[in-house]
Amino acid sequence: MKLTGLSIAGAATLALIAAAMAASPESPVGAASCSGCHPARPGVQSAVPRLTGRNPADIVAQMRAFRSGQRAATVMDRIAKGYSDAEVEAIAAWYAAQQ
């Protein structure tokens, strides 16, 4: 079977998502999608901040600012609109508990 670049990229993405979900089965719905951009490990150089270990109130406040348009964004404003307040709070609490 010959894999194209798109097939390989798709398979790699699915593998990463599955690994993230398997490593944290108790994570709330939506939390795994954050790890696509936000690094999980300390020391990873990225313009996108780590969420693990952050104050949950800070995460909630930033998501609300993205959703309302108070904070400029390239994509987070659209992502934030897809989550309810309860989902954002659950995701924030879960990331705050991660180390």
Q: Which residue pairs from 58-63 have beta carbons closer than 8 angstroms and sit at least 24 positions apart in sequence?
A: 59/88, 59/91, 59/92, 59/95, 59/96, 60/88, 60/89, 60/92, 63/88, 63/92
The predicted-structure confidence for 32-68, as pLDDT tens digits, reads as follows 889 889 988 888 888 899 999 999 999 999 999 999 9
CATH number at residue 38: 1.10.760.10
Domain count, the chain: 1
Q: Report the percentage of the chain scoring pLDDT > 90.
A: 55
Total-model pTM: 0.69
Task: Place 20 in a pLDDT band, splitting at 50, 70 and 90.
Answer: very low
d(CA 87, CA 95): 12
Nearest to 52, CA basis, from 42, 61, 43: 42
Q: Domain of residue 20: give its range.
A: 5-97
Q: Report the percentage of the chain scoring pLDDT > 70.
A: 75
